[in-house]
Chain A
Amino acid sequence: MKKITFALNYRKPKLDYNPTDQIEICIRFSHLDKKTNAHKIKNISCGVKCMLKDWNNDWHKNPERLPVLKTDPDYSKKNKKLFDIRKKILINQFKKSDDLEKNIRSSKLDPKIPKGPMNQKWTNHKNSINLVNPANKRNIDVIVVGTGLAGGSASASLAELGYNVKAFCYQDSPRRAHSIAAQGGINAAKNYQNDGDSIYRLFYDTVKGGDYRSREANVYRLAEVSGNIIDQCVAQGVPFAREYGGLLDNRSFGGVLVSRTFYAKGQTGQQLLLGAYSAMNRQIAKGKIQMYNRHEMLDLVVIDGKARGIIARNLETGEIQKHSAHAVVIASGGYGNVFYLSTNAMGSNVTASWKIHKKGAFFANPCFTQIHPTCIPRSGDHQSKLTLMSESLRNDGRIWVPKNIDDVEKIRSGKLKPTEIKEQDRDYYLERRYPAFGNLVPRDVASRAAKERIDAGFGVNNTGEAVYLDYSTAIKRYGKEKALLLGIKDPSENEIVKLGEEIVETKYGNLFQMYEKIVDENPYKTPMMIYPAVHYTMGGVWVDYNLMTTIPGCYCIGEANFSDHGANRLGASALMQGLADGYFVLPYTIGEYLSNEIRTGPISVESVEFDESKSLVEKKLQNILEVQGKKPADYFHIKLGKIMWEYVGMSRNEKGLKTAIKEIKKLRDLFWQEIFVPGNMYSMNKELEKAARVLDFLELGELFAIDALDRNESCGGHYREESVEKDGPQKGEAKRDDVNYSYVSAWEYNGDPSKAVLHKEKLEFTEVELKQRSYK
């Protein structure tokens, strides 16, 4: 099917009509006749008439896109009917013909991986991409939603290239995006340490760390551009940590055998984000970026199958605005807050990703979520968010719980202190289960092991949800080393501890201080309590090699897309991916699409599609306000979080997932009966913002569970109790199933999360051999 348009059904020669004659309007489209194998034009009458003088045959060329002109008193009704029928035909055609469906399915999920050897794909692709000449770039608008590492760097780079950028963020400044909270560092295959690092090794580690569920070509490109990121950031004035010789310092992270992580103390994310923010500021000052702070995207506008703009709400005035562009880039981050408690910011949400999903973008691998093993545990029901303790702490800390359940009881009731438990009565369960990697097993393995002990009743705080991270061994070891260096003979225990504490402070001081402020205990003297928490979502909007979603002209970058981390992300790779997408990938690949847009001209917001989207957004918010129930948005969010954590959290099974699907549906129904939002939508209304976001989480949560149910294998962060090793040395460990599940699940929205249609992108591995991950 090619194009669907409207036409007047003339029964006699056109010139024989008077301008005031009523003529029937029909919908016209071409279809493939199976017998003759030729395209035929088909007209369908749609029961709407208008006067000849009110008819606009060139409606599609006009920015307002009105087939029936405003001179007709019923023009809006008639146009709406025309477009409704047109939409129906599109959907029906899609459903009826199996051939067509298959065709669309496979063509829609074309990952567009360039041909050629892996290490030449990106270079060749860049050379073959169509370019847009600088004069034309000035006439092209791009909307970027989100100003974190991905959105901020993309906005700045696109503006530098000459495009007109409109950037949106819900916070009061682009500098507040949650990338700012990343602590540890950013990976790059610079091999400054001469420890054998290379692009291939970074690529290999990332594919393996992701448990072989990522797309090889995307990951290779990520590794290729990683070095450029560091060069770029240094040129921008990002103050990375340096050695005394003045050169950049590196440290090592989990899951790898080289030192390739660049860092700026415990604030690497902040420094990189402020770098991107400063690049944005330069373009804002030049007028190349129009910045919309305190604005939230509430819908994507699609015209003739292409993304043409967004509907946004000004969060200060409540005004619902229409913004048009030639392409829309979604960089709105992950959806970890579907669990309510996570290390995400309070405002982090899935709304932008979910809205484009509803408009036709497939959502990939929603069940791939990273649960970080070392976070500060919940202290009670008032808890609103969880704070991460950097992975680097596991380099020196030892994780344990008491061996005897009696000791656990005594600790919980305050009769016993952890420091009083003897060495032989402690269970260093990671060292016991994984002697080869010990406390440095990857995040998913460490989290599950903690859960196993806690489920067995060995949790050590008053909620029963914590294990110890102990620094006493490290303090003594460092203390002894230091004493030797200082030439102290036979140092006393106290001297050793004092010296050791000083060393630990220089390494982890800011993290220890953070812990002390929150928990009110001195982590130098007593072991820290930690517990796993939701941290990052590897799943997200499906994109092809060009980072374009299944909606032409709509792109998705950073944590919001799915492509690079498979089923588990390695430490210090999120910052790398965000900046790679924004600085070095999207600015090139978007040219391929925009080079076809140079003749489009400015896109008007005065069209049926914009008006329809806007009124739907207004209606939705109005509906939420009109429920006038009794429960605040938090009530539903907390409940959803509990369902997700219990049934779709660290360990999942068929029965639990089915329960979750049912419960989430029920909760969504309850939302529409019980939600209470005060005030109106045309003023600052933080409760309304919250409620609308929770509603999207309530839909995503269901798809999340459906995806987890479909994937009956254990891989990375996704652990199905049905899929474990039954015997052999790996007994009890997660079992991946490459024969049946070596694919990306891409879900197409179909009216309701429960009706989502599954499309599969088969994953081909040509460079890396698939192996079982073993840490024993």
Chain B
Amino acid sequence: MDLTLKVWRQKNRNEKGKMETYQVNDISTDSSFLEMLDILNNDLLEEGQEPIAFDHDCREGICGMCSLYINGKAHGPDSRITTCQLHMRKFKDGETIYVEPWRAKAFPIIKDLVVDRSAFDRIQQAGGYISVNTSGNTQDANLTPIPKDDADKSFDAATCIGCAACVATCKNSSAMLFVSAKVSQLSLLPQGRVEAKERVLNMVKQMDKEGFGNCSNTGACEVECPKGISLENIAILNREFLKGSITNN
């Protein structure tokens, strides 16, 4: 198939960027979206031009590195997948495709389609853990039974890949789904309850500090999340936050 691409190009953090138009021809419908960009990049290189910079790594939908806003949708038109799992058969021959980076105040653009998501790391550093040192003498793994339902829910929240599609999709650039996934995962487990209060207060504080917007319950994040992280987690986050804010230590 032959396609026209409109791609955001930006030299570095400081310079202004703009959309550029490219033509790609003879693309197999079986190739993935990123493989199509590989082909375009190698074409550009053969012409002596700078290829388009974009983040990607595992190319199987789990590392969370790829992050493209395609035709106005985070990770493109298909559902429950990341950009690297998107295949060209989802597009029509002759179509014009718009490719943009994640857009959010908290994610400055580094180059072309590459953004800086270190704000996510800083939120995790603020409390996204259980304070246990490495030790060969923690209690036996089976000493505390955990109801299967809780363990499964905790797992579902823990499958977040930190790609930030939720932020890119949200009209407020809110990181609530991302933060709630970690808060839920840990607060649903008995070993995570001990620090539940500090965790939620610190993570939310850091989230606000990074410049993410507030949640206005439109639910777009859940729709675009490649892992289907549930909105229910935001409810859990709100409950934990409220509980943490109004209770004493």
**A residues in contact (CB < 8 Å) with B:** 153, 156-157, 160, 171-178, 180-181, 190, 192, 225, 228, 230-237, 239-248, 264-265, 267, 270-271, 274, 277-279, 281-282, 284-285, 291, 293, 316, 343, 345-347, 379-380, 382-385, 387-388, 513-514, 517-518, 520, 583-584, 587, 630, 632, 634-635, 676, 678-679, 683-684, 686-687
Please tell me if B97 contacts chain A, counting CB pairs below 8 Å: no
What residues on A are CB-neighbors of B85 within 8 Å? 514, 517-518
B10 nearest CB across to chain A (Å): 11
Stretch at the interface among B1-9, B140-148, B213-221, B236-244: B140-148
**Given contact pairs A279-B134, A382-B39, a sample of 6 additional A-B residue pairs in the complex whose CB atoms are under 8 Å apart:** A173-B118, A177-B63, A228-B138, A346-B57, A379-B28, A584-B136
Q: Which residues of A contact B152 (CB under 8 A)?
A: 239, 242
Q: Which one of A153, A281, A380, A388 contacts B128 once the chains associate, using CB atoms below 8 Å?
A: A281
CA distance A6 to B69 in the complex (A): 62
Interface residues of B in 60-89 (CB under 8 A from A): 60-65, 78, 80-81, 85, 87, 89
Measured between beta carbons, the chain A residues less than 8 angstroms from B56 are 346
Q: Which residue on B lies nearest to A683, using beta carbons?
A: B12
**Nearest chain B residue, comparing its CB with the CB of A387:** B60
B235 adjacent to chain A (CB < 8 Å):
no
Given contacts A279-B134, A686-B53, contact A345 B59 (CB under 8 A): yes
**Across the interface, do B118 and A293 meet the contact criterion of CB distance under 8 Å?**
yes
In contact, A157 and B185 (Cβ under 8 angstroms): no
Give how many B residues have a beta carbon under 8 Å from the other chain's beta carbons. 79
Asked if B211 is at the interface of the complex by the 8 Å CB criterion, the answer is: no
Given contacts A172-B117, A181-B62, A281-B129, contact A245 B30 (CB under 8 A): no
Number of A-B contacts (CB under 8 A): 221
A232 to B126, CA, bound (A): 21
Smallest Cβ-Cβ distance to B156: which chain A residue: A239
- Determine if B138 and A244 form an interchain contact, defined as CB atoms under 8 angstroms apart: no
Asked if A634 and B145 make an inter-chain contact with CB atoms under 8 angstroms apart, the answer reads: no
Subset of 12 A-B contacts with CB under 8 Å: A231-B140, A241-B155, A242-B145, A242-B151, A281-B128, A282-B125, A382-B38, A513-B80, A514-B61, A518-B32, A678-B50, A686-B53
Task: State which of B30, B39, B51, B134 has its C-beta within 8 Å of the C-beta of A232.
Answer: B134
B130 near A278: Cβ-Cβ < 8 Å: yes
The complex places the Cα of A252 from the Cα of B61 at a distance, in Å, of 25
- Is the Cβ of A232 less than 8 Å from the Cβ of B138? yes
Given A176-B65, A181-B63, A678 contacting B48 (CB threshold 8 A): yes
Is A517 within 8 A of B62, CB to CB?
no
In the bound assembly, the distance between CA atoms of A160 and B141 in angstroms comes to 21
Q: Would A293 and B121 count as touching, CB distance under 8 A? A: yes
In the complex, the chain A residue whose C-beta lies closest to that of B30 is: A379
Contact of A267 among B62, B65, B192 (CB under 8 A): B62
- Min C-beta distance of A208 to chain B, whole Å: 27
In angstroms, how far is the closest chain B Cβ from the Cβ of A394? 19
* Interface of chain B, main secondary structure: loop
Most buried by A among B58, B120, B131, B159: B58
CB pair B34–A267 under 8 Å, yes or no, is no
Tell me, rounded to whole Å, the shortest Cβ–Cβ distance linking A674 to chain B.
Answer: 12
In the complex the two chains form, is A176's CB within 8 Å of B64's CB? yes
B23 sits at the interface (CB 8 A) = no
Question: In the complex, which residue of chain A has the Cβ closest to the Cβ of B121?
Answer: A173
In the bound assembly, the distance between CA atoms of A247 and B142 in angstroms comes to 6
The chain A residue sitting closest to B31, CB to CB, is A382
User: Contact at B146–A678, with CB atoms within 8 Å?
Assistant: no
> Do the beta carbons of B46 and A160 come within 8 Å of each other?
no
Beta-carbon contact of B136 and A225 below 8 Å: yes
The answer to whether B139 and A231 touch across the interface, beta carbons within 8 angstroms, is yes
With A173-B120, A180-B58 as contacts: A632 and B87 at CB distance below 8 Å? no
Inter-chain contacts of B246 with A (CB < 8 A): none
> Inside 8 A of A385's CB, which chain B residues have their CB?
59-60
- Residues of B within 8 Å of A270, CB to CB, are 62, 159, 161
CB contact under 8 A between A684 and B35, given known A225-B136, A676-B45:
no
B75 to A: closest C-beta gap in Å? 12
Evaluate contact between A520 and B42: CB separation under 8 angstroms: no
A234 to B140, CA, bound (A): 9
With A and B bound together, what is the CA distance between A513 and B57 in angstroms? 21
Contact A676 B134 (CB under 8 A): no
Q: Which residue of A lies closest to B115 (CB)?
A: A172
Contact A517 B64 (CB under 8 A): no
Residues of chain B within 8 A (CB-CB) of A345 are 57-59, 63
B197 within 8 A of A: no
- Set A233, A234, A347: member contacting B57, Cβ < 8 A: A347
Closest 5 CB pairs between A and B? A246-B145, A278-B129, A239-B155, A382-B31, A379-B30
Q: Flag whether B174 is at the interface (Cβ < 8 A).
A: no
Interface centre among A172, A240, A246, A383 (most CB of B within 10 A): A172
- Tell me if B234 counts as interface (CB < 8 A to partner A): no
> Taking the complex as formed, is B169 at the interface, i.e. its CB lies under 8 A from any CB of chain A?
no
The reply to whether A678 and B45 contact each other, CB–CB distance below 8 Å, is: yes
Measured between beta carbons, the chain B residues less than 8 angstroms from A240 are 141, 151
A344: nearest residue on chain B (CB-CB)?
A: B58
Q: Are A271 and B28 in contact (CB under 8 A)?
A: no
Q: With both chains docked as a complex, state the minimum distance between the C-beta of A524 and any C-beta of chain B, in angstroms.
A: 17
Q: Does B247 contact A (CB under 8 A)?
A: no
* CB-defined contacts of A239 to chain B, threshold 8 Å: 151-152, 154-155, 158, 185, 189
CB of B103 closer than 8 Å to a CB of A: no
Bound together, the chains give a CA A246 to CA B189 distance in angstroms of 12
Closest to B56 in A: A346
Residue numbers in A under 8 Å from B121 (CB-CB): 173-175, 281, 284, 291, 293
